[in-house]
Amino acid sequence: MRDIPSLTGLRGVAALWVMAFHVGKVADEAHAPWAAHLGLLGFGWTGVDLFFVLSGFILMWVHGADFRRPTKAALGRFVAARIVRVYPLSLAVLLLILLLAWADPSFVAWYKAQNADNFTLQAFARTACLATRWIAGGGGDWNEPTWSLSAEVVGYGAFPLLAWAMTRASPKVAAAVGVLSLATLAAFEILTGLAGTNAIDQIPALMRMGCGFIAGMAVCRARGAVGDRAPAWAASGSLGALLAIGLVCQARLGVLLAPAGFALLIFCLSFQLGALNGLLSSRIALFLGRISFPLYLIHLMPLLWLASHVRIGALPPLGTVAVISGYLAFCMMGAVLLHLLVERPLHRWARRGFPLSAARRVLAQAA
């Protein structure tokens, strides 16, 4: 399958959106409301839902055909690729947080005051295994953004079966499944009183991931049925979807429609037409997309460290701008280094098939 550069750029926008939400939230809690989130930034947490829909689409786009008639080799390649994709980078960031905790006991005490289960040995093991959401019990974290990875690991486990079923379904049935999954998520959030909130406990997290992930897979199945002949409305449709997302995110209950907007946006961008596609395919957007995963993983803990030590509300506006600018520069630099030193080498290793060949050598030697 050919690459869709604009979806890489979209991933970068989603990471920045989530990051801006957390900066605004901390600024608000630090009594610096002028530096807090405004408008769309207040709903930046929905960037994670964009990640879920995008993940389902991309996995189906790249691996869907492998599971029309699944083989052990295809399953092995998929599992190895997913492990290499998420675990090493998450562990690298976790080790950096461990170093921070060792160097600054006062921050540990502050973070544990927010939740007594934070920074415990059990929380460390669950974070390392990305099991904070698919294993019940305990609410502590060492790196809160891993909640979405923990939920997505469940999606990875279900993907081969879902892809097998989706490739056998007609495009109309697949589209209906996608609509039903998004309607189910909206109904769940309304009935549980979670509509318009960033609910990340176990069940809400798994619902957000599962419904968004399946919707993304359904969008890809529908996109495959259309072929390369783009609809006349694809370019304008991407702009319309972006505008609709902006409008629905102005209201608490309107956010329920955001995942549907994400699905439409991804469908339209996949044809690689229009001004928005060009913008998201620009060099800076692609750069942000490539570092989006390490940026997402690394951005929150330095921000919380700042919140524990710096009284932003007591600073003049220029001082607050300087602190936030330094924080953003630090996160960008850290994300670039993690991408260059951890993520990219591991991706090259996975593409060469080393994980599977190494496993075969180990098994052969054991025999």
Query: In the prediction, which pLDDT does 221 show?
Result: 94
Mean pLDDT, rounded, for 238-243: 95
CA distance 20 to 300: 10
Mean pLDDT, rounded, for 142-149: 94
pLDDT digits (tens, 9 = 90+) for 109-127: 999 988 888 999 999 999 9
- Alpha carbon 120 to chain centroid, angstroms: 25
Contact yes or no for 354/42 (Cβ under 8 A): no
Mean pLDDT, rounded, for 229-239: 89
DSSP assignment of 209-231 equals HHHHHHHHHHHHHHHHHHTTS--
Residue 160: other Cβ atoms inside 10 A: 17
With cut-offs at 50, 70 and 90, classify the pLDDT of residue 31: low
CA distance 189 to 179: 16
Query: In the prediction, which pLDDT does 250 show?
Result: 84
With cut-offs at 50, 70 and 90, classify the pLDDT of residue 314: low
pLDDT digits (tens, 9 = 90+) for 347-362: 787 667 644 444 444 3
**Residue labelled with tokens 């999954």:** 181
Amino acid identity, position 103 = A
pLDDT digits (tens, 9 = 90+) for 259-274: 999 999 999 999 999 9
CA distance 158 to 71: 15
Query: In the prediction, which pLDDT does 23 show?
Result: 86
The set of residues, in sequence order, having a beta carbon less than 8 Å from that of 8 and lying 6+ positions away, is: 280, 285, 286, 289, 290
Query: In the prediction, which pLDDT does 360 show?
Result: 41
Query: What percentage of the chain carries pLDDT values higher than 90?
Result: 64
CA distance 291 to 9: 10
Query: In the prediction, which pLDDT does 313 show?
Result: 58
CA distance 260 to 181: 10
